[in-house]
Structure 1
Amino acid sequence: MRKIFKILGIVILVGIFGGTIYFLYTKSKKVPDVYETKNPFVSNVIRKTVATGSVVPRKEIEIVPQVSGIIDELYVVAGDFVKKDQVIAKIKIIPDMVNLNNAENRLNRAKLSADDAKVDFDRQQKLYDQKVISFEEYKKAKVTYDSSKEELSAAENNLDLIKNGVTKKASTATNTLVRSTVNGMVLDVPIKEGNSVIQSNTFNNGTAICTVADMQDMIFKGKVDETEVGKIKEGMNIELEIGAIEKDKFGAILEYIAPKGKEENGAIQFEIKANVVLKENQFIRAGYSANANIVLEKKDSVLVIPEGLLKFEKDSSFVEVETAIPQTFEKRMVKTGISDGINIEITEGLTKADKVKGEKVDPKKVKEEEKKKA
């Protein structure tokens, strides 16, 4: 019985030792690397640069009053369409007391002068009718009387302007009614009824009552880096991608490149402008941020490979192509063309039948995929 246990123990020890040796052998055995392969294919390659910016109206007009005062009534809100000469606000004038006092004094003096000139003219007219005085003396009195009447009218108008901003003779033409100077949409009304406003003059721009713009005449304003600005020119087609409008893309034509750049965050940026081509019933709100894709070069139906497969050696580029033996590769020099950042054009060195070495893959996954295909 003891012999049986000894033999059984020896067999178990030999089995354990043999299993350990086999395990260590299989563990130390190197598994060959497996790489995926990709064939060159025909595709279009577009090399482009991207400019960031926003879409804004070509012209934004600030409507500024011609008199100072208080907003008595507002007739528009943001989003309204207005026509040229349409009334958008009414201003109540608060007259300056010094100017008001001077105007009232001028009117009183003009009345006194007019009354005195009338008395003199009436006397001279009676004498002229009796042929006591000459026509020259009569004419002189009449001119003086007419001049005093004009001065009285001017003083009355001046007082009306200071008080009300409008004269009796020109009741339809008044500075108290603020009118739009262009056709367009009201973008912003920064004031409210009761706010004080200042007229436009040589010392300041005045208080803007509202901003009006033609929303059918939009432009893209963006910036291009100095490394790309030499590759673009006026007249190039641009494709706009607006972040707030994901589904639609808008066409534009580059029409302006700044002759002078500005430094921003250590880089020189050049401003560009492009005319946005809107389709019928398309509407873009002012201030939308957008990316402009500017096509620098385009080639159709050329042989390409993923740019990540390309390798470099000094000034040359090459790829590794699979030989007749699977998973065995050889170096092959190639010549390249333009790249779009994903695919690169191959002008010489490859055909569509070649298999180019790609990334390393897990052999287990390869076997699993082969089983699934089987």
Structure 2
Amino acid sequence: MKVVKWILLIVIIAGGLWAAMFFIKSNSKSAITYETHKPFISSIEKKSVATGKVIPQDEVEIKPQISGIIDRIYKEEGDQVKAGDLIAVIKVVPNEQSLNQSAGRVRNAELSLNNSKIEFERNKALYERGVISNQDYNNLKLTYERAQQELKNARADYQIIRRGSAGGSASANTNIRATVSGTLLEIPVEEGDQVIQSNNFNDGTTIATIADLGKMIFEGQVDEGEVGKLEIGMPLEISLGAIEDKKFDAVLRFVAPKGVEQAGAVQFKIEGDVTVDEGTVIRAGYSANASLILEKRDSILVIPEALLQFDNQTDKPYVEVSIGEQQFERRDVEIGISDGIIVEIISGLTEEDSVKQWNKTEPIKLGEEEENENTEE
């Protein structure tokens, strides 16, 4: 029994000593020393990024004025063309009914001309002998000349229906030519494809799309929370995913008056004129981001945003200001714009104040075993 008592006594004494040493060690840690920062004068730009793409300012679609089959294509996508350059030729496949009607019109015009010719020649002889009046002769001559013109028109219409143009015409409907100068972006048809003419009831088949790649615009979308801060003429900075380490200047030219709901958020379309440097090739459809300066303040008092604290009850911002050696007091502040790094101080602080960096953490100290392990590694 005495041995058990002695063992129990030793255990109690050892436990007490260990607890005392732990308490002393725990309370021997040095107090945390907080760093301070002084407010300073700087400028803040509040930016927003709009995603979109770069497209030509104007794209012109070339459509045929007559239906038929693509007989030959003379250009390729990417070629530079000038207004009037021949792009393709269409082979006309005439409508049988229209062709037959036109041929009948030609035959009727020939019959009418023959009859008018006979009447005119017979009455011409009578006029020369003074049998008929000058007015009757002029009327017969007019009828004969009209019959000649009618036959000419009927034959021309017949050739247009059959071949697509009157014989010898330099601007034949079968010749598809560029209407503007630029780059051929797309030729969506191939030789042998059937095309439909453009008219009041049909847009027609697009044979080619032409655009000037020297005049590009940025087309993107911004959220409804930021569209109210946009102004026509404000500068944009465009970055392209296909061209790294290069920025392009742009000017906002259009903000849509109506938004479109996408994934629960209302988005507004914007456009900006992009300045393209000489020697830089920008292809239509490049994905792009536009950086917009929504708000800017110059020469204002600011502090790092990480120094701010917010009241749990009112959510109003405040900071802790040094009033002595590692002594601080709370001070409410009024803040302005922020770029996520620094924030504007409207009131509550001066440049002479020292603001506590309240959220600083102590450096982590490794134990002896961990230090040995790291040393061995």
Query: What's the TM-score, normalizing by structure 1?
Result: 0.84
User: Residue type matched to 2:169 in 1?
Assistant: S
Indicate the residue corresponding to 1:342 in structure 2: 341
Q: Specify whether residues 35 and 276 from structure 1 end up closer, same or farther in structure 2 by C-alpha distance, changes over 3 A only.
A: farther
Indicate the residue corresponding to 1:102 in structure 2: 101
Please show how residues 22-61 of structure 1 align to structure 2 within 5 Å: 24-25=22-23, 31=29, 34=32, 37=35, 39-40=37-38, 41-61=40-60
Which 4+ residue blocks in structure 1 deviate beyond 4 angstroms?
12-36, 321-324
User: Residue type matched to 2:266 in 1?
Assistant: I
Please show how residues 231-250 of structure 1 align to structure 2 within 5 Å: 231-250=229-248
Indicate the residue corresponding to 1:372 in structure 2: none
Please show how residues 317-332 of structure 1 align to structure 2 within 5 Å: 317-321=317-321, 324-326=324-326, 329-332=328-331
Q: Point out where structure 1 has 5 or more consecutive residues left out of the alignment.
A: 1-8, 369-374
Q: CA deviation at 1:324?
A: 4.5
Deviation per CA, 1:135-191: give whole Å up to 9, x if none: 3443333222212211111111011000111113x5212111112222221111111
Report the Cα distance in structure 2 between the residues aligned to 1:265 and 1:334, rounded to whole angstroms.
37
Indicate the residue corresponding to 2:110 in structure 1: 111
Please show how residues 1-374 of structure 1 align to structure 2 within 5 Å: 20=18, 24-25=22-23, 31=29, 34=32, 37=35, 39-40=37-38, 41-168=40-167, 171-313=169-311, 314=314, 316-321=316-321, 324-326=324-326, 329-347=328-346, 348-351=348-351, 354=354, 356-364=356-364
| Larger displacement relative to structure 2 (344-353 or 20-29) | 20-29
Q: Percent identity?
A: 44
May I ask how many residue pairs the two structures share in their alignment? 361
Indicate the residue corresponding to 1:371 in structure 2: none
Are the aligned partners of 2:82 and 2:181 in contact in 1 as well (CA < 8 Å)?
yes
Q: CA deviation at 1:249?
A: 1.0
Secondary structure of 2:120's counterpart equals: helix
Are the aligned partners of 2:321 and 2:353 in contact in 1 as well (CA < 8 Å)?
no
| Larger displacement relative to structure 2 (218-227 or 57-66) | 218-227
Report the Cα distance in structure 2 between the residues aligned to 1:355 and 1:136, rounded to whole angstroms.
113
Report the Cα distance in structure 2 between the residues aligned to 1:336 and 1:17, rounded to whole angstroms.
55
Are the aligned partners of 1:33 and 1:360 in contact in 2 as well (CA < 8 Å)?
no
Secondary structure of 2:330's counterpart equals: strand
Indicate the residue corresponding to 2:4 in structure 1: none
Superposed CA RMSD in Å reads 3.3
Q: Specify whether residues 37 and 195 from structure 1 end up closer, same or farther in structure 2 by C-alpha distance, changes over 3 A only.
A: farther
Deviation per CA, 1:279-315: give whole Å up to 9, x if none: 3333322122222222122233444333122111225
Q: Specify whether residues 365 and 204 from structure 1 end up closer, same or farther in structure 2 by C-alpha distance, changes over 3 A only.
A: farther
Q: Specify whether residues 125 and 331 from structure 1 end up closer, same or farther in structure 2 by C-alpha distance, changes over 3 A only.
A: same
Are the aligned partners of 1:34 and 1:360 in contact in 2 as well (CA < 8 Å)?
no
Q: Specify whether residues 75 and 293 from structure 1 end up closer, same or farther in structure 2 by C-alpha distance, changes over 3 A only.
A: same
| Larger displacement relative to structure 2 (300-309 or 151-160) | 300-309
Report the Cα distance in structure 1 between the residues aligned to 2:55 and 2:24, rounded to whole angstroms.
69
Q: CA deviation at 1:319?
A: 2.0
Are the aligned partners of 1:57 and 1:215 in contact in 2 as well (CA < 8 Å)?
yes
Q: Specify whether residues 364 and 109 from structure 1 end up closer, same or farther in structure 2 by C-alpha distance, changes over 3 A only.
A: closer
Are the aligned partners of 1:84 and 1:180 in contact in 2 as well (CA < 8 Å)?
yes
Q: CA deviation at 1:29?
A: 5.1
Secondary structure of 1:361's counterpart equals: coil
Are the aligned partners of 1:35 and 1:360 in contact in 2 as well (CA < 8 Å)?
no
Indicate the residue corresponding to 2:374 in structure 1: none
User: Residue type matched to 1:363 in 2?
Assistant: P
User: Residue type matched to 1:151 in 2?
Assistant: E
| Larger displacement relative to structure 2 (330-339 or 143-152) | 330-339
Report the Cα distance in structure 1 between the residues aligned to 2:77 and 2:356, rounded to whole angstroms.
61
| Larger displacement relative to structure 2 (339-348 or 68-77) | 339-348
Are the aligned partners of 1:254 and 1:275 in contact in 2 as well (CA < 8 Å)?
yes
Secondary structure of 2:35's counterpart equals: strand
Secondary structure of 1:110's counterpart equals: helix
Q: Point out where structure 2 has 5 or more consecutive residues left out of the alignment.
A: 1-6, 372-377
Report the Cα distance in structure 1 between the residues aligned to 2:187 and 2:31, rounded to whole angstroms.
69
Are the aligned partners of 2:307 and 2:355 in contact in 1 as well (CA < 8 Å)?
no
Are the aligned partners of 2:54 and 2:216 in contact in 1 as well (CA < 8 Å)?
yes
Q: CA deviation at 1:217?
A: 1.8
Deviation per CA, 1:190-211: give whole Å up to 9, x if none: 1111111111111121111111
User: Residue type matched to 1:108 in 2?
Assistant: R
